[in-house]
Amino acid sequence: MTDTVPAWMRAAFGLSGRLSPALAARVAAELMIRPRGRNPPQAWELGPSPLLPRDIRLPGGLHALAWGDAGPVVLAQHGWRGRPTQFRRFAEALVPAGFRVVATDAPGHGLSPGVHATPRLLADTLIAAADSLGDVHGIIGHSLGGAAAALALEFGLPARRLVMIGSPSRPSRMIAAFAEQVGLPPAARAAFDLWFEAHAGRAVETLDPMALRLGPGVAAMVVHDRDDDIIPVAEAELLETAWPGARFLYTTGLGHRDLLADASVVAPVAEFMAAGR
């Protein structure tokens, strides 16, 4: 959840982590969970569309884009440095089928307040959004947003359909990877792990989709591209064991983001959502 770490930063964390482990851990956590900008938009986000979204505000000042005026809600959550416009193709398919689509701008992104984003923060904002909107039929999450969507269901969001697209099944492993990347020594690494556990409210690995079990009445669809160079396809394949009742759709050649606009994904996801009404 960060860019390449320069050598001087590793040296700084190595020294500060030995002198003041707790302080180094807090600084590292702050660095990890602050998005600092957005990924460049894809061409398919910018072209003309038969549907124009509305800007809306949800609880806590959360910014969102909304398509459609009536019907059950499909919530959509982008991933790290993503944006609500990434779901425009899904809106174009779902609104004619009688749904409203609301894509939230994650905390620390775009016009939403805050500077931090974690799966727990995203899950909490999805729950608050659902409480405000009412009649939430399903959730679509991309990348980290998919893991947050699964977590929101675990915490009680009353949706009947979950779609995870290009999502990690073990986001807790990112914590260990980041600690290694910045070179935290053992004492600081322990404090770093404790910081995230306190933030999550329980052991972080218990919040991974791999550790969650879908509740009764919830159907899941997992979509992943075999050429995804951001989140390896192995993350989706692991869920086949954890969620034996879920539907799995694998694509090739679309990478991490273009599968959000390809008809081979959009149409089956829209059909999956409509089948649960």
Domain boundary among 207, 229, 257: 207
- Asked whether residue 41 is assigned to any structural domain, the reply reads no
Q: Are residues 195 and 254 in the same domain?
A: no
Across 78-218, where does the E strand assignment appear?
A: 100-104, 136-142, 161-165
**3-class DSSP state of 5:** coil
Question: What's the whole-model pTM score?
Answer: 0.94
The pLDDT mean for the chain works out to 94
Q: Are residues 6 and 107 in the same domain?
A: no
Q: How many CA atoms lie within 13 A of 211 on its CB side?
A: 12
Q: Are residues 77 and 94 in the same domain?
A: yes
Q: What is the pLDDT of residue 47?
A: 84
Give the helix, strand, coil percentages of the chain, each rounded to 5. 45, 15, 40
- Asked whether residue 5 is assigned to any structural domain, the reply reads yes
- Asked whether residue 234 is assigned to any structural domain, the reply reads yes
- Please tell me the distance from the alpha carbon of residue 55 to that of residue 50, in angstroms, as a whole number: 17
**3-class DSSP state of 179:** helix
Q: Are residues 144 and 185 in the same domain?
A: no
Domain boundary among 158, 182, 207: 207
- Asked whether residue 38 is assigned to any structural domain, the reply reads no
Does the structure show a pLDDT above 70 at 198? Answer: yes
- Asked whether residue 45 is assigned to any structural domain, the reply reads no
Burial of 43 (0-12, 13-18, 19+ CB in 10 A): exposed
Q: Are residues 128 and 223 in the same domain?
A: yes
- Asked whether residue 44 is assigned to any structural domain, the reply reads no
CB crowding 159-172: b at 16 or more within 10 Å, else e: bbbbbbbbbbbbbb
pLDDT interval class at 216 (50, 70, 90): confident
Q: Are residues 26 and 160 in the same domain?
A: no
Cα distances from 96 to residues 39, 91, 167, in angstroms, run 29, 8, 27
Q: Are residues 84 and 164 in the same domain?
A: yes
Residue 223 lies in domain = 51-171+212-275
- Asked whether residue 164 is assigned to any structural domain, the reply reads yes
Mean pLDDT value of segment 221-242: 97
- Please tell me the distance from the alpha carbon of residue 140 to that of residue 77, in angstroms, as a whole number: 6
Q: Are residues 224 and 115 in the same domain?
A: yes
What the block records as the tokens of 127 is 């729950």
What are the residues whose beta carbons fall under 8 Å from the beta carbon of 234, sequence distance 6 or more? none
- Asked whether residue 94 is assigned to any structural domain, the reply reads yes
The position carrying tokens 């701008």 is 105
Q: What is the pLDDT of residue 164?
A: 98
Q: How many domains does the chain divide into?
A: 2
Q: What is the pLDDT of residue 142?
A: 98
Does the structure show a pLDDT above 60 at 2? Answer: no
Does the structure show a pLDDT above 70 at 1? Answer: no
Q: Are residues 137 and 271 in the same domain?
A: yes
For 250-269, the DSSP string reads: EESS-TTTGGGT-HHHHHHH
The alpha carbon torsion through 166, 238, 208, 186 (nearest 10 deg) reads: -100
- The domain that holds 119 is classified in CATH as 3.40.50.1820
CB 205 within 8 A of CB 269: no
Q: What is the pLDDT of residue 36?
A: 84
What does the pLDDT look like over 11-49, one tens digit per residue?
Answer: 999 999 999 999 999 999 999 999 988 899 999 998 888
